[in-house]
Structure 1
Amino acid sequence: MSGDLRYAGPPPGSPDVAGARPAAAAHPGGTPKAVGIAWALLGLNTLGSAGAKTVVPLPRSLIQMATMGALVTAFALALVLNLRLRIRPSAFVFLLTLLLVPSVIASANLEVGYGALFRCFRLALFVGTLWLLSRWWDGGLTFVRYHIRMYFAVLVLVAAGLIVAPGTAMPEYYGGRLVGALWPLTPPQIGQYSAVIIGLTVLLLLGRRTTGRSAALVIVVSLVLLALTHTRTATVGLLVGLTLAIGSLVLTSAAARRFFAWTVLCATVAAVVFASAVQAWFLRGQDQESLSNLTGRAKVWDALLAAPRSTGEKVFGVGLSDKSFGGLPIDNSWLAVYHEQGLIGVTLVALMIVALGGVALLRPPSLPRACAIFLISYCAISSYTEAGLGDASPYLLHLALAAALLAVPTEPSAAAPAGAPSLSAAAVPGRRIPRWARR
């Protein structure tokens, strides 16, 4: 986006438009720009290597090298930026670390091949990078901007593919839905990225943390691409997530109340005037039977649950795989986790969602809290028809962003206000300060 999402609100230090949290809750030492690069590299790693056919055929091995290389680079960069290994406590990342235990135990059996151990290594690097970057999680909106810029760059690539090769970008084997023509991206992926940055950008606009022109560019482009993907899950997740997020601001933000009222009015008018068009878009040419069994997903779920399993497989799973069963995608995060990481994995993933949701409910109303509520609710809704909560994926990155938004801001000590001279050897002549006190 030509415009980065620039700040366009009250001056730093003034009360937040959506709550009592200061508008500028920056990390005391500042957030290095390289942190944004590391975050973008994590996003590149989660794009995946399987998808639609591209204009220029890209070998899957080449794509895997690029995505895995991005993860290794992100970890190395985060380590260089945080050599002292300073981390912030995070229940989400701690539970995600515990999820490695059943993953490794089940994958060690090699029931699904050596690829399971490779995926465990990938998940470990992903979690390690999040721990290293947690040093800069301060409850501010810095990582929200990283997130929007990163995924908007992906959508620009998708739009470029649509312009260059419209036939390849909307193939018949996907029912004419939009795919990635330059990078192999599926319609659900594009729909997910579009929905997430639309929701976050709308919230930034309501909080006056971005300019109208920059927000309009992001929202309009993303809405067009979302419509072309015909992705129902992403659309429902966007609508429900925004409703809950804006609802959390209604009591403290006049802008949120106006937006909510106008949205309800426009949605009611659209439902009456364009009812047939909306229904046709939602059905995607499918009959009632296909819609009721979720385009064949229910058959895979029934087969997975009916498959015989040993006690060990029920508890620990069969190991990290490609999220498929019988050669067909599982397309449900909870069943995928049960299949790969067992009941222990399902429990840990549920605790991650509950922990984030509980912390969000306990925080006072604010714009960061609203963004976190949107991300948590979106991932919870998408988990029903999309897999990804048990392995390195965009969904875990969305939840990591929610954890960063819910982190307690780092504030200067009341005993040492900003600008006050610090205790040093020069401040106390003739007295040497111990080494531990100078750190």
Structure 2
Amino acid sequence: MGGDLIRRRLPGGPDTAGTRPDAEPRRVVPPKTVGIVWALLALNTLGSAGAKTVVPLPRSLIQMATMGALVTAFTLALAVNLHLRIRPSAFVFLLTLLLVPSVISSANLEVGYGALFRCARLGLFVGTLWLLSRWWDGSTTFVRHHIRMYFAVLVSVAAGLVVSPGTAMPEYYGGRLVGALWPLTPPQIGQYAAVIIGLTVLLLLGRMTDKASAAVIIVPSIVLLALTHTRTATLGLLVGLVLAISSLVLSSAAARRFFAWTVLIAVVAAVAFSSAMQAWYLRGQSQENMSNLTGRAKVWDALLAAPRTTGEKVFGVGLSDKSFGGLPIDNSWLAVYHEQGLLGITIVAAMIIALGGVALLRPPSVPRACAIFLISYCAISSYTEAGLGDASPYLLHLALAASLLATPAPATALTKAEVPRRRIPRWARR
């Protein structure tokens, strides 16, 4: 090891300090604290409303835990980045601009003081992402943090299913899987399962993980996804993987084999289990209920028909709990229009377009494929799920995509403390 370090410092050898103009970029390795910060951001976006749990948890206690996680995340991110070194990011910049209509509309207090609280939460969320952007270099480091955190959430869901099956699959949710230890809804669980399945499959295709480790993540996640009966998450997973793997087909033999086998298995399953798959998809609902998207269309029509002033059309009514008339909006675009107006929709659309455009311009790679999967998944889910205009798992998924599309930092000279010291043999010290 000592000899290797000595050779690196010989004249004409590799310029690991980055002092020559042609030096290769030196990756800034993120400290372990960065992974903790990412996990705390994910914890903050779990939400406080959902199913009944085995041990009743007061909503105020859950909100205190999630908000405390965000404050802690910001504090830790600031502690490891005291010099406030950030990297340019169009995504985080646009997300910062989204604060403008959010604050302007929330200042009217049309939806109460909770709107200002949500603005502060979004501001802390964005500030933490800026601090973490220093370590966004196009590597899969944050992908692994993402998978670990959400797999831990799924482990808690599975534990709740074992401890109390009746609570985990209640009748008021149609027998769909919910969080029995932490109040999580079926769409939430389906989202987390679908995202980590897709990311793990792509890491496996890129040989960035082994088959055994991938199976530990993928197999139980597929089971939990099936138990949630979440159509949006399943569709987002399938379409996202098709687009992501297609971006690797020309450069990866493993991707070509996986794509071919997946198509073959899908065709066989569609023929052999068509009736079972149709029953799973319908979830016992009537055709009329399916046509109005389980009641969502009625809420959407009422929201669009509601009278609005010019200010409300442009800036919205302020950050709320993503509901209208006491019913969930369940559409990111309509929720943004309701809360942040047409200006908010423009900014959110610009975020998606910017990420998608950069992804198309990047050369084929596993990080690019992961970014394509996340962008396409969020775009599909935005039709029946809200969250693109406020601190949510969807914004965290897109932030992960932004980190994957970032270019490596330019080479910089090592500080005196970072330069490896030459190990002098004991005999030479005499």
- The two structures have a TM-score, normalised by structure 2, of 0.90
The equivalent of 1:144 in structure 2 is 143
The equivalent of 1:200 in structure 2 is 199
How big is the shift at 1:27?
Answer: 6.2
Judged with a 3 Å threshold, the aligned counterparts in structure 2 of structure 1 residues 182 and 257 are, in CA distance, closer, same or farther, namely: same
- Separation in structure 1 between the aligned mates of residue 288 and residue 269 of structure 2, nearest angstrom: 27
Q: Note if contact 2:28-2:135 (Cα within 8 Å) is conserved in structure 1.
A: no
Tell me the secondary structure at the aligned position of residue 409 of structure 1: coil
- Separation in structure 1 between the aligned mates of residue 26 and residue 313 of structure 2, nearest angstrom: 44
Cα shift readout 1:271-304 (whole Å, capped 9, x = no counterpart): 0000000000000000111111100000000000
The equivalent of 2:305 in structure 1 is 306
Q: Note if contact 1:158-1:182 (Cα within 8 Å) is conserved in structure 2.
A: yes
Map 1:56-67 to 2 at 5 A.
56-67=55-66
- Separation in structure 1 between the aligned mates of residue 94 and residue 279 of structure 2, nearest angstrom: 42
The equivalent of 1:220 in structure 2 is 219
Judged with a 3 Å threshold, the aligned counterparts in structure 2 of structure 1 residues 423 and 397 are, in CA distance, closer, same or farther, namely: closer
Q: Note if contact 1:93-1:130 (Cα within 8 Å) is conserved in structure 2.
A: yes
- Separation in structure 2 between the aligned mates of residue 30 and residue 227 of structure 1, nearest angstrom: 38
Map 1:261-340 to 2 at 5 A.
261-340=260-339
- Separation in structure 1 between the aligned mates of residue 231 and residue 139 of structure 2, nearest angstrom: 31
Q: Note if contact 2:101-2:316 (Cα within 8 Å) is conserved in structure 1.
A: yes
Amino acid at match of 1:406: L
How big is the shift at 1:410?
Answer: 2.2
Cα shift readout 1:204-246 (whole Å, capped 9, x = no counterpart): 0000001111100100010000000000000000000000000
- Separation in structure 2 between the aligned mates of residue 44 and residue 145 of structure 1, nearest angstrom: 16
The equivalent of 1:184 in structure 2 is 183
- Separation in structure 2 between the aligned mates of residue 120 and residue 27 of structure 1, nearest angstrom: 37
CA RMSD of aligned residues (A): 1.3
The equivalent of 2:365 in structure 1 is 366
- Separation in structure 2 between the aligned mates of residue 90 and residue 287 of structure 1, nearest angstrom: 46
The equivalent of 1:6 in structure 2 is none
- Separation in structure 2 between the aligned mates of residue 398 and residue 263 of structure 1, nearest angstrom: 25
The equivalent of 2:123 in structure 1 is 124
- Separation in structure 1 between the aligned mates of residue 51 and residue 292 of structure 2, nearest angstrom: 24
Q: Note if contact 2:25-2:411 (Cα within 8 Å) is conserved in structure 1.
A: no
Judged with a 3 Å threshold, the aligned counterparts in structure 2 of structure 1 residues 62 and 82 are, in CA distance, closer, same or farther, namely: same
Matched, 1:162 2:161: yes
- The two structures have a TM-score, normalised by structure 1, of 0.88
Cα shift readout 1:351-398 (whole Å, capped 9, x = no counterpart): 000000000000000100000000000000000000000000000000
- Separation in structure 2 between the aligned mates of residue 331 and residue 225 of structure 1, nearest angstrom: 22
The equivalent of 2:80 in structure 1 is 81
Unaligned runs of 5+ in 2: 1-23, 417-430
Amino acid at match of 1:351: A
Amino acid at match of 2:133: S
- Separation in structure 2 between the aligned mates of residue 84 and residue 134 of structure 1, nearest angstrom: 13
- Separation in structure 2 between the aligned mates of residue 347 and residue 52 of structure 1, nearest angstrom: 34
Amino acid at match of 2:212: R
The equivalent of 2:15 in structure 1 is none
- Separation in structure 2 between the aligned mates of residue 172 and residue 27 of structure 1, nearest angstrom: 55
- Separation in structure 2 between the aligned mates of residue 94 and residue 30 of structure 1, nearest angstrom: 24
How big is the shift at 1:131?
Answer: 0.1
Amino acid at match of 2:53: T
Tell me the secondary structure at the aligned position of residue 132 of structure 1: helix
How big is the shift at 1:71?
Answer: 0.0
Amino acid at match of 2:124: L
- Separation in structure 1 between the aligned mates of residue 25 and residue 225 of structure 2, nearest angstrom: 33
Judged with a 3 Å threshold, the aligned counterparts in structure 2 of structure 1 residues 89 and 50 are, in CA distance, closer, same or farther, namely: same
The equivalent of 1:37 in structure 2 is 36
Q: Note if contact 1:26-1:138 (Cα within 8 Å) is conserved in structure 2.
A: no
Q: Runs of at least 4 residues of structure 1 off by over 2 A?
A: 25-29, 410-413, 422-425
The equivalent of 2:343 in structure 1 is 344
The equivalent of 2:7 in structure 1 is none
- Separation in structure 1 between the aligned mates of residue 103 and residue 26 of structure 2, nearest angstrom: 35
Map 1:413-428 to 2 at 5 A.
none
Tell me the secondary structure at the aligned position of residue 202 of structure 1: helix
- Separation in structure 1 between the aligned mates of residue 307 and residue 208 of structure 2, nearest angstrom: 53
Judged with a 3 Å threshold, the aligned counterparts in structure 2 of structure 1 residues 206 and 424 are, in CA distance, closer, same or farther, namely: closer
- Separation in structure 2 between the aligned mates of residue 395 and residue 28 of structure 1, nearest angstrom: 27
